[in-house]
Structure 1
Amino acid sequence: MKLIYSIFGILLTGMLTTALAQQKETPKKNASNKVIVAYVTSWGKTLPDPKLVTHINYAFGHVNKTFDGVTIENEGRLKDIVALKSKYPQLKVLLSIGGWKSGRFSEMAASDENRGKFVDDCQRIVKTFNLDGIDIDWEYPTSSEAGISSSPDDTKNYTLLMSQIRNKIGKKKLLTLASVSNAKYIDFKAITPIVDFVNVMTYDMGTPPNHHAGLYHSQYTKDISVDEGVTAHLNAGIPANKLVLGIPFYGHGKGDIAWYIDYKDIVKLSGYTKKWDDVAKAPYLVNDAGEFVLTYETPQSIAVKCTYLLEKGMLGAMYWDYTADTEDGELRKAVYSGVYKK
C-alpha cells in the first residue's frame, strides 16, 4: 500500500510540476510590458497624451538630398514632444525616418560611405534631441511603388543599414521599423536579432467595396486580411513578441466620401448606414443604394483586434495617426483599454 501511495505521489507531483510549467509558459494576455505606439505627425497641432501611449514615433525624418544624412520636419514640434518625457519619464520618443513617397533610401544604403554618414547622423540626432531610438519607415526596399527609386540590392543593403544603426546607437536605444502587411521586401530572419520590434502596417489592404484593415478574410477582402498579414510575418521569422499590430485611425471612401478620411471626420458623416462584417470583424458604411462606400475602424473593431493580438502573444498595438482621432480620443482610448484590458 505504501508503494502504491508513493507511486501515486510521484505521479501527482509530476502532474503538478507539468501544470505549473505550462502556466509559466503561457504568456499573460494583459502583461504590463505591452506597447502602444502612436505615430505623431510633424504637421499636427495637438500634443499626444502620454497616459495613453508608451511610444511615440515622430513623423517624419527623411534621407537628405546628398544621401548622407537626415532632415527633420518641424524640429520645434519634435522638441515639444520630447519635453513630455520630463513629466512622463517612461515615455519613449523615436524619430521615424521615411514614410510614403519618402525616397533616397536606395541611393544612401547602396554606398558604404553614404550609409556610414547617414548612420552617424542618426546617432547625432538621438543625442541632440534626447531620443529613445530610431524607427525606419522605408516603403519599400526593391520597390518603386511609392514613386521612389529602388534597386534589386535594396533588401541586402537594408540589412546592412539596420545592422550599422544598431551598432552605432547601441543596445540601450530602440531600433524599430514599419513593415508592409504582406511581409515582403525585407529579410526578416537577418534583422530580427537586430531590431526591438516591427510595426506591421496592417491597413491600406483595400478600398471600397473592400475592407482596408479587416481582421479576417471575408467576401470583402481584396488581397489579404490582418490575420493573414500577421501570419506572413510569423512565417518570415519574426517571433510574435516582436510584432506590433497596426491600426488605422482613418478610412477609405468612394463617391461623395473622400478616398482618405480621418476618423474625426467619419463620425460627422450623415446619410449612410452602418454595417458590420461579422466574418472580417470590420465595420463599413453603405449608401442609399446599398453600396459599400467606406471602410474604417471603430472602438468595436479595435476591441476585437486587441483581443486578437493578446491571444497571439504579440507585443502590442500601433496606430496612424494620433491626430486623426476625435478630440476626446475615442479610438486611442479603445486601443489603451483593449491592450491593457482596463
Structure 2
Amino acid sequence: MFFSGQMNCCSLIVLLTLLVGANISTIAPKNKSSKKVNKASTAGNNGVKKEPKFTNLAGSAAETQTSKLAPEDLCFEEMLGQNMTSVTVRESVYDQTVLGYVTPWHNKGYDHAKFLGSKFDLISPVWYQVRRLNGKVEFGGLQDTDYSWIQEVRASNPAVKIVPRLLFDGWKAHDLSALFSGEMSQTAVVEKIVNFVKEHPFDGIVCEILLQVGYSYKLPAMHLLAHLGGALKQHRLQLIVPLPAPLRSDGTPNMFFTVDDFKRLSPVVDYFNIMTYDYTTGPSPGPVSPASWITSCILFYTKDLPAVERSRFLMGVNFYGYKYKSNQNTPGEPIIANGFLELLNKYNSKTKVLWDENAMEHLFQFGPNEKVYFPTLHSIKLRLQLAEKLGVGVGIWDLGQGLDHFLNLF
C-alpha cells in the first residue's frame, strides 16, 4: 500500500484548478518582480501524470531536457550528476516570502544562507531555548550564537531578516502553571525575551510555544504571544509563530488553532508558519506532504481572507523525507540528503521511482525492502507554484537537509 490517509476529493479539485492557472490576486509583502524565473527553467506539464507508474532511473540523460530545472521523468545520471547536485541559479527567482530555518546539526544550511542570501527574506537559526530552572526563566543555546555568520548573511542580502527560533523547551505542568499564574509573571517573561532580542543583532524571533504547551495551556499561551507581539512591534521587531497543520490525515480539523485564534493574534503576529508535513506517521509508506492536503490546510485559514492577509501565512516545505523497510513493522525513519544519496549510489541503475499523482511526490524503491519518500525538484516546484497561487509564502525545514540543487527554484 503506497498511499496512506484519505484525499479529500474537493480539495484535490481545488488543487488541480490552482495549478493549471486559477487567477488569485496576491499582494506579496516584498517586491522581487525584477527577478523573473527563466521560462525554460520552469517549463513542464504541471507535474501530473495521467497514470502513475514505476520508471527505471537508468534512462539516458540525453533523453531528458537538460534545460528543465524540475523534470518529471527522473534519470539516474541527473540525480547524481554534478549539474543536479549543485546550485546553478544563485539569484532569487521566486517572488513569494521565503523563510529558511538553519540548524546547528545540519551545517550545510549555514553556507546556503550565507552564500545564497538573496533567495531568502527570513532566516531563522535554531539556536535558543527558553527554560525554567529553579524557578527562574533562562535562555539556553547561547553558545551557538554566531555573530560573524550573521554579518556574512547580511552582506549577501542586506534586506534579509534574522529571526532566531526561541523554543519553550522542557516546561513541566508546574512550570507552565507558574508562568500563567498571573499577568505579572507573563509580563516578566515577555520583557526578558524582548530585551534579549534587542541586545542582539536580530530583527525579531520565531516563538515556538503553542506546539509545546498543547491544548491545556493554549489560551494563556496565546495571551502571552499577544503580549509579546505587541511589545516587539513597539521596537519594530517581527514575530513569527509556528503552527501545526490544522487538518488530520483524514481531512477533519483538529481544532487546535482555529480561524478565530488567527483573528485574535493577527494584529501582533507578522507571519504564521503552518507545518504542512509529517502527514504519514505509521509503518506503511506514505507521502510526507501530499499536495491536496496542503491545499486544504492553507485554505482552512485563508479562503475568506484578502490577499494581504493570506501573504502572512507561510506554507511548510520539507527538505527531508522518510525511509520505510517492508520487513520491519515500524514507523518510517527521517532521511536527509546524505542518506538519500548513499542509497542512490548503492542501488544506482536498479533504483525505481514512482510518481504519486495524488500526493505529487516521488517514491523511490531501493532494493526489495526499502522505500523512500523524498522531495525532488519536481515536487518542490509544484509546491512553490501552489503557494504562489494560494497567495502565501513558504517556510523551509531545514536548509541543511535537502539536496543543494533544491535551492535553484527559490
* TM-score, normalised relative to structure 2: 0.63
Q: In the alignment, which of 324, 338, 345 is matched to residue 264 of structure 1?
A: 338
Spell out the pairing of 1:45-84 with structure 2 (5 A cutoff): 45-46=107-108, 47=110, 48-49=113-114, 50-66=117-133, 69-84=137-152
Counterpart check, 1:215 vs 2:291: yes
Instruction: Please tell me whether the aligned partners of residues 226 and 265 of structure 2 are also in contact (alpha carbons under 8 angstroms).
Output: yes
2:268 paired residue number? 194
Q: Give, in angstroms, the shift of residue 264 of structure 1.
A: 3.5
- Structure-2 separation of matches of 1:159 and 1:263: 36
1:93 paired residue number? 162
Unmatched 5+ residue regions in structure 2?
Answer: 1-23, 33-94, 248-254
Q: Tell me: CA distance 1:277–1:85, structure 2 relative to 1, closer, same or farther (3 Å).
A: closer
2:101 paired residue number? 39
- Structure-2 separation of matches of 1:248 and 1:276: 17
2:355 paired residue number? 276
Percent identity for Structure 1 against Structure 2: 16
- Structure-2 separation of matches of 1:310 and 1:323: 24
Q: Tell me: CA distance 1:79–1:302, structure 2 relative to 1, closer, same or farther (3 Å).
A: same
Counterpart check, 1:295 vs 2:373: yes
Spell out the pairing of 1:22-33 with structure 2 (5 A cutoff): 26-27=25-26, 32=32
- Structure-1 separation of matches of 2:176 and 2:363: 38
- Structure-2 separation of matches of 1:119 and 1:38: 25
Q: Give, in angstroms, the shift of residue 294 of structure 1.
A: 1.7
Instruction: Please tell me whether the aligned partners of residues 316 and 394 of structure 2 are also in contact (alpha carbons under 8 angstroms).
Output: yes
2:317 paired residue number? 247
Residue range with higher mean Cα deviation, 198-207 or 107-116:
107-116
2:298 paired residue number? 230
Query: Deviation per CA, 1:166-213, whole angstroms, max 9, x where unpaired?
Result: 222225211111111126423222111221111111111114421111
1:333 paired residue number? 408
Larger Rg: 1
- Structure-1 separation of matches of 2:322 and 2:136: 36
Query: Deviation per CA, 1:15-35, whole angstroms, max 9, x where unpaired?
Result: xxxxxxxxxx93368952632
Query: Deviation per CA, 1:37-75, whole angstroms, max 9, x where unpaired?
Result: 111113443422313222111213222224653514254
Q: Tell me: CA distance 1:97–1:113, structure 2 relative to 1, closer, same or farther (3 Å).
A: same
Q: Tell me: CA distance 1:192–1:141, structure 2 relative to 1, closer, same or farther (3 Å).
A: farther
Amino acid in structure 1 at the alignment position of 2:262 = F
- Structure-1 separation of matches of 2:25 and 2:391: 9
Q: Tell me: CA distance 1:78–1:122, structure 2 relative to 1, closer, same or farther (3 Å).
A: farther
Instruction: Please tell me whether the aligned partners of residues 122 and 134 of structure 1 are also in contact (alpha carbons under 8 angstroms).
Output: no
Instruction: Please tell me whether the aligned partners of residues 242 and 274 of structure 2 are also in contact (alpha carbons under 8 angstroms).
Output: yes
Q: Give, in angstroms, the shift of residue 288 of structure 1.
A: 4.2
Residue range with higher mean Cα deviation, 27-36 or 63-72:
27-36
1:286 paired residue number? 365
- Structure-1 separation of matches of 2:226 and 2:136: 17
Q: Give, in angstroms, the shift of residue 250 of structure 1.
A: 0.7
- Structure-2 separation of matches of 1:113 and 1:81: 36
- Structure-1 separation of matches of 2:177 and 2:288: 31
- Structure-2 separation of matches of 1:298 and 1:175: 31
Q: Tell me: CA distance 1:91–1:209, structure 2 relative to 1, closer, same or farther (3 Å).
A: same
Instruction: Please tell me whether the aligned partners of residues 100 and 122 of structure 2 are also in contact (alpha carbons under 8 angstroms).
Output: yes
Residue range with higher mean Cα deviation, 108-117 or 197-206:
108-117
Q: Tell me: CA distance 1:56–1:102, structure 2 relative to 1, closer, same or farther (3 Å).
A: farther
Unmatched 5+ residue regions in structure 1?
Answer: 1-24, 144-150, 217-224, 337-342
Q: Tell me: CA distance 1:293–1:230, structure 2 relative to 1, closer, same or farther (3 Å).
A: same
Q: Give, in angstroms, the shift of residue 98 of structure 1.
A: 1.7
**Partner SS for 1:269:** helix
- Structure-2 separation of matches of 1:97 and 1:177: 10
1:203 paired residue number? 277
Query: Deviation per CA, 1:63-120, whole angstroms, max 9, x where unpaired?
Result: 2224653514254444233223552321111121127x75458446513333222211
Amino acid in structure 1 at the alignment position of 2:398 = D
Query: Deviation per CA, 1:1-20, whole angstroms, max 9, x where unpaired?
Result: xxxxxxxxxxxxxxxxxxxx
RMSD: 3.0
**Partner SS for 1:246:** strand
Instruction: Please tell me whether the aligned partners of residues 242 and 273 of structure 2 are also in contact (alpha carbons under 8 angstroms).
Output: yes
- Structure-2 separation of matches of 1:174 and 1:321: 20
